[in-house]
């Protein structure tokens, strides 16, 4: 039978209907659902091809529509570790969401959050927000650690002993890296201070927490020199990269965090006075920074000629469908792509590389540590010194010869 050129092809070329199994009756509706969510044809084709891998596995493992939630949970460890394992899982997750929205399967009850499961963690979270102004992202990190502490030591803090706390911290340190060990110390100490402040624990218990080596003995962090900064900015030239150029300039000229760029909203920009409000970073404080002309011009170009129409207060949005506000992970991906285009090799690849580069550039151009700390919005000078360690090359440039000795 000759092909009908007017008939729209629904099934991707490499996906046969026989591989869909229990999903076959709902496949065309799934495609239309993806299209309504502004997924591109190329993305839909890729997702549905890997969707066949997922439905094949589900069918072979004995799962169907009635057990699809359990099946998806079982498929995660089955696919993890395989090449591009996230694509079958992503397509499966979207299909489950489609079925739930269409009323074909009942939505699975959302599991309780750690704060709901352990009331003491919920109280700790509220106390930290109210008394310390800690952001949600930091509290999420703390909570991921404190869940293990409550599980190991129990929900009765009056029964906690110095020995048990010390053993918990040491156990976490021996099975994780140095960064996690330090975060365990920070989270545990904050939790114990909360317990003391609310009368649940005697003071001094936090002294049992062991200390780990600090940053002072660590090697110099990665940063880009002036030439590399110019190259990464140049790698974002052109009308198709107006967003990328604006994001990169916010990072390298103002030293913003990736999350601060992602959370920038139109109401945060004071065009009349040439400044921007920074919200959503590590601090809950509203802080203002001047908007340099170069950064402002790049932002205006993006808003005028590059930003798609999207009903969101966020300034920066993704460039591909489905369009949505950028996340800090999207900002990191943008930085990595710009580094690749510029041919820059660096051990650190995310937005924080550019934040540290901004701090180092300020130091090299004569700004003192207090000035750098003001731009980076650090509360203490010691924090600034972590970001802007002075290397020997800079010291040799500005150091005078020792008295009585000739210069080398």
Question: Is 355 an annotated catalytic residue?
Answer: yes
Cis amide linkage into residue 322, ω under 30° from 0: yes
Question: Is 275 an annotated catalytic residue?
Answer: no
The Cα-based distances of 318 to 84, 86, 264 in angstroms read 22, 20, 14
| Residue (of 246, 250, 266) closest to 258 by Cα position | 250
The domain locations on the chain are 17-101, 114-213, 226-396
Top CATH class of 114-213 equals mainly alpha
DSSP state of 288: E
pLDDT at 9 over 60: no
Query: Cβ-count burial of 153 within 10 angstroms (0-12 exposed, 13-18 middle, 19+ buried)?
Result: middle
pLDDT at 403 over 60: no
Helix (H, G, I), strand (E, B) or coil at 73: helix
Q: Which pLDDT tens digit goes with each residue over 38-84? A: 788 888 888 888 998 999 999 999 999 999 999 999 999 898 877 77
Of 125, 245, 257, 377, the catalytic one is: 257
Question: Is 257 an annotated catalytic residue?
Answer: yes
Question: Is 53 an annotated catalytic residue?
Answer: no
Distance CA 393, CA 225 (A): 12
- Residue 358's pLDDT band (cuts 50, 70, 90): confident
User: What is the per-residue DSSP string for 137-151?
Assistant: HHHHHHHHHHHHHHH
Q: Can you count the helices (H) and strands (E) in the chain?
A: 18, 3
State phi, psi for 12 to the nearest 5 degrees: -60, 155
Of 279, 282, 314, 341, the catalytic one is: 282
Query: Cβ-count burial of 386 within 10 angstroms (0-12 exposed, 13-18 middle, 19+ buried)?
Result: middle
From 3.40.30.10, 1.10.10.10, 1.10.443.10, 3.40.30.120, which CATH number describes the 226-396 domain?
A: 1.10.443.10
Query: 184-192 — which CB contacts under 8 Å span 24+ positions?
Result: 184/145, 185/209, 185/210, 185/211, 185/212, 186/142, 187/141, 187/142, 187/145, 187/146, 188/145, 188/146, 188/149, 190/124, 190/128, 190/132, 190/142, 191/124, 191/142, 191/146, 191/149, 192/165
Its pTM surpasses 0.75? no
DSSP state of 192: H
Ranked by mean pLDDT, the top range of 136-150, 230-244, 391-405 is: 230-244
Please, are residues 76 and 93 in contact by the beta-carbon 8 Å criterion? no
Question: Is 365 an annotated catalytic residue?
Answer: no
Of 19, 53, 355, 389, the catalytic one is: 355
Question: Is 356 an annotated catalytic residue?
Answer: no
CA 336 to chain centre: 14
pLDDT at 177 over 50: yes
Q: Which residues pair with 287 in a beta bridge?
A: 278
């Amino acid at each position: 039978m000759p092909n009908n050129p007017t008939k729209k092809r629904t099934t991707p070329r490499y996906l046969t209907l026989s591989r869909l199994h229990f999903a076959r009756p709902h496949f065309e509706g799934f495609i239309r659902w993806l299209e309504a969510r502004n997924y591109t044809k190329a993305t839909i084709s890729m997702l549905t091809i890997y969707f066949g891998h997922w439905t094949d596995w589900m069918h072979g493992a004995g799962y169907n529509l009635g057990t699809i939630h359990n099946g998806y949970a079982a498929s995660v460890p089955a696919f993890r570790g395989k090449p591009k394992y996230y694509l079958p899982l992503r397509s499966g997750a979207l299909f489950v969401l489609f079925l739930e929205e269409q009323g074909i399967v009942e939505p699975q009850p959302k599991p309780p959050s750690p704060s709901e499961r352990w009331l003491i963690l919920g109280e700790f979270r509220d106390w930290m927000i109210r008394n310390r102004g800690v952001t949600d992202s930091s509290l999420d990190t703390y909570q991921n650690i404190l869940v293990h502490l409550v599980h190991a030591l129990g929900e009765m803090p009056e029964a906690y002993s110095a020995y048990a706390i010390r053993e918990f911290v040491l156990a976490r340190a021996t099975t994780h890296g140095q960064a996690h060990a330090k975060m365990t110390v920070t989270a545990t100490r904050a939790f114990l201070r909360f317990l003391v402040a609310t009368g649940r624990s005697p003071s001094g218990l936090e002294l049992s927490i062991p200390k780990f080596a600090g940053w002072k003995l660590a090697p110099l962090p990665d940063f880009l020199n002036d030439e590399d900064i110019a190259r990464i900015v140049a790698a974002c030239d052109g009308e198709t990269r107006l967003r990328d150029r604006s994001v990169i300039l916010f990072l390298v000229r103002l030293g913003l965090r990736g999350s601060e760029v992602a959370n920038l909203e139109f109401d945060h920009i004071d065009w009349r006075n040439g400044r921007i409000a920074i919200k959503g970073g590590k601090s809950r404080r509203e802080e203002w920074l001047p908007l340099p002309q170069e950064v402002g011009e790049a932002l205006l170009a993006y808003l005028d000629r590059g930003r798609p129409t999207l009903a969101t207060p966020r300034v920066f949005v993704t460039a591909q469908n489905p369009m949505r506000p950028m996340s800090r992970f999207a900002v990191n991906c943008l930085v990595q792509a710009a580094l690749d285009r510029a041919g820059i090799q660096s051990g650190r690849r995310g937005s924080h590389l550019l934040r540290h580069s901004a701090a180092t550039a300020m130091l090299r151009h004569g700004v003192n540590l207090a000035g750098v700390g003001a731009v980076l919005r650090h509360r203490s000078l010691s924090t600034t010194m972590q970001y802007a360690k002075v290397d020997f090359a800079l010291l040799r440039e500005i150091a005078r010869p020792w008295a009585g000795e000739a210069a080398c």
